Structure 1
Amino acid sequence: MKILMFIYCMHCGGAERTTASLANEWVARGADVTVVSIESTDVDFYPLHPAVRRIALNAASVSPGALAALGANFERVRALREVLRELKPDVVLGIMTVASVLAILATRGLPCKVIATEHTHPPMLPLSRTWQQLRRWTFRSADLVVALTGDSKHWLEKNCECTDVCVIPPPFTLPIPRLEPTLMPDAVVGRDRRVLLAVGRLSEEKGFHNLIDAFSSIVSTVSAWDLVIVGEGDERPALQKQIDDADLRDRIHLPGRAGNIADWYERADLYVLSSRFEGFPMALTEAMASGIAAVSYDCDCGPRDIIRHGENGLLVKEVGDTRMLAEALQRLMLSDVERLRLATRAAGLRESFSLDKAISLWRDAFVAAGVEETRRVGA
């Protein structure tokens, strides 16, 4: 099978990581895979199998106005269409909204199938009115649309009038690959400390300001614990000021981005997700599959697909409520028995969200999109 995956860039991010994981696995299983990006390869973060063909359109730009933006996207569609005519893939996967819209437009009249994908919960993704309309207009003509959760599936069916939508959670593999940069836990916290771990981009939607407030309110009752937020982003100055104002620089750490996140999962005693919304929280899945008990806001969307409250983790119903989050964290920090019970059951996610299961679901998706039929007629 010839698969072409089209994405804006291959920088550090959940959709980019999923793209690399799927591309590498499909190639290993004998498929012909190409990853095409709008942006250059200079920002590539996740390693690709040597057999994965990598093409960059080098067409990323900031347009000064609507007319310029229209022209830039016309050129992107034209450039992608040239690649499609040359490679003749059986199926094109658009990765995220913009790439999916452009992929659907570029494949018009060509014999290949096209699958659009969403990697966050659509109503939570800030899009201009133009792109919202384009998604609504184009997604219904895709051969298939793939969402990460049932909530996103229902939204797409209702708001984009898509009739063919399936759910495929992002895959993960154990052991988790170790990448650069390396940031060892012992360089941040002492071995005698217990670690409450959060992982993610330091941005507003991750709700780390609420997490810091919640931890600050119980810090005196959990004296053996430190909070570590691994990640980088624009909110660093504001979060660091919040920590400094609370005089908790020795108890709350922002060490930066870590490519060796598996070492942090191994070191952590409890994981927390404080996001206002998610597409599908891969870090939460990985942490739990690594055998860590977890607490998460019951945000849209993803955590409720992963955590069964009271069985393999705790869900905090009121998103943004720091008191409820603090109570849930304190409950597990002060109970080794309950924390171990939840951690043991959390490890069962290794099978639920395994790469093998994701590949099987994608195989079904290709059949549903008619890819096998296209291959038989020689496209």
Structure 2
Amino acid sequence: MKIVYCIHGTFNSGGMEKIIINKANYLVEKGFEVFIITTEQKKRKSFFKINDNIKCYDLDINYEDENNTSFLKKFISFQRKQKLHKERLEKILNKIKADIVISTFGNEVNFLYAIKDGSKKLLEIHFSKFFRKQLQRHGIWSIVDKYRSYIDNIKARKYDKFVVLTNEDKGYWKEMKNITVIPNFISLPEEISRLENKRAIAVGRLSYQKGYERMIKAWSIVNKHYPEWKLDIFGNGEDLDYINNMINNLDLKDSITIHPPTTAIGEEYKKSSIFLLSSRYEGLPMVLLEAMSYGLAIVTYDCKCGPKDIISKENGILVNEGDISFFADSIIKLIENNDRMKNLAKKAREDAYNYSKEVVMNKWIDLFNEIISTSK
């Protein structure tokens, strides 16, 4: 079976890039023929290792070149690049003759379903239905986000299958017959944290979505009570200067350290005791699942979507969205109650098995077989 993944690029260290590459690697090891088609690669090296048997193509569209231009210029450029994108993608798909082509909700979502190359078309989303609205952009961009959210609903119905990450998100899409839920998977480590270090960890892009300023405000409260505890954040992004300035202004530079992304993040989990997630929105936060698999105690906001599907009273602490005081208090209570920290971490590790590679990828393979069998 030939499987094609369409994604913007593989050069970033983000959760979506990581899971797409991991899925592709798994499938090719199982005998599938796998292709990855990108639009923004610009000959940059993949951040995560891609199996040598996977064929990678870049269409050289580069939508991101217009990110910092005016609305009008961006709109005109987008229309032109959409036309070019469809032409180039259609040409390569007719050459590949795939069985299944998957959109990861990139710009190809607008037309992939209409390309007549003989393949079945799948759409998978790595955020929640409301991710555009949760950007909280203003002015004309607010109107654009509302319109595109409306269009998302129409386009998703045109695909043979639409895969969301959580049951919570499935409920928001309403009565969509082609929708199904398959979470992302994690690789379960053999060695886990001993919960001995006075260290909390956060992992993810330094962006509005991840809400780090809310975490830092909470940590300033924790720091007043337990200055010996440290917070290490692993990530980069457009908010780096803003977050660093906030750390300095709150006099937390000796308590909080920002590190660049690392492919050896497992070693960092093992040296930590508490994992923090302050996102405004997610799809299914992979770093949360990874932290659970390493046996860390979890404190997370109840954002849309993901944490509610994963976290219970037995395996972590789910904080009402935006409640900074309770977020801080939850961390403090874990620090003060080592037995509770260990009990939550133990259950988190156990529940992480529900998201193992074999369990999740068998669901994908079953879905592929189901789609192919219905076309015969």
Runs of 5+ in structure 2 lacking a partner? Answer: 67-72, 136-143
Deviations 1:117-174 (A, max 9, x none): 111012123564564454333221210000011122222235xxx3210111111113
Displacement of 1:255: 2.2
Equivalent in the alignment of 2:139: none
Q: Does residue 1:313 correspond to 2:316, yes or no? A: yes
Partner residue in 1 for 2:47: 45
Shift of 1:373: 4.2
Q: What's 1:229 paired with? A: 233
Work out whether residues 285 and 349 of structure 1, in 8 Å CA contact, stay in contact via their aligned partners in 2: no
Please show how residues 1-379 of structure 1 align to structure 2 within 5 Å.
1-10=1-10, 11-40=12-41, 41-61=43-63, 62=65, 64-105=73-114, 107=115, 109-125=116-132, 126=135, 128=145, 131-157=148-174, 162-175=176-189, 194-309=198-313, 311-317=314-320, 319-368=321-370, 370-374=371-375
- Following superposition, the deviation at residue 349 of structure 1 comes to 3.0
- The gaps in structure 1 that reach 5 residues or longer are 177-190
Paired amino acid for 2:55: R
The 3 A distance-change label for structure 1 pair 220 and 193 is farther
State how far apart, in whole Å, the 2-side matches of 1:112 and 1:79 are.
16
Q: Which residue of 2 aligns with 1:186?
A: none
2-structure distance, mates of 1:333, 1:342: 13
Q: Could you tell me which residue of structure 2 aligns to residue 181 of structure 1? A: none
Instruction: Tell me the TM-score normalized by structure 1.
Output: 0.88
Contact 1:278/1:301, CA 8 A, preserved across alignment: yes
- The answer (yes or no) to whether the contact 2:202–2:233 under 8 Å persists in 1 is yes
CA change 1:97–1:150 in 2 (3 A) is farther
Show CA shifts across 1:204-260 (max 9, x none).
Answer: 221211111111113132233111111112222222222212222111111222221
Does the CA-based 8 Å contact 1:76-1:102 persist in structure 2? Answer: no
How far 1:308 moved relative to its partner?
A: 0.9
Residues paired across the two proteins, number: 353
Q: 1:278 to 1:210 in 2, by over 3 A?
A: same
1:12 deviation in Å?
2.1
How big is the shift at 1:192?
9.0
Paired letter, 2:21? A
Instruction: Give, as a single letter, the amino acid of the residue that structure 1 aligns with 2:75.
Output: A
With over 3 angstroms needed to count, the CA separation of the structure-2 counterparts of 1:68 and 1:248, relative to structure 1, is closer
Structure-2 change in CA distance of 1:128 and 1:219 (3 Å):
closer
Contact persistence 1:38–1:56 (CA under 8 A):
yes
Name the SS for the 1:122 alignment partner: coil
**Percent same amino acid at aligned positions?**
27
Kindly state the Cα deviation for residue 326 of structure 1 after the two structures are TM-superposed.
0.8
Name the stretch that deviates more: 129-138 or 250-259. Answer: 129-138
Distance 1:102 1:348 in 2: 42
Q: Answer whether contact 1:149 1:302 (CA < 8 A) is retained.
A: yes
- The secondary structure found in structure 2 opposite 1:254 is strand
Matched-pair contact (CA < 8 Å) for 2:168–2:309: no
Indicate the RMSD between aligned Cα atoms, in angstroms: 2.0
Contact 1:202-1:234 at 8 Å conserved across structures: yes
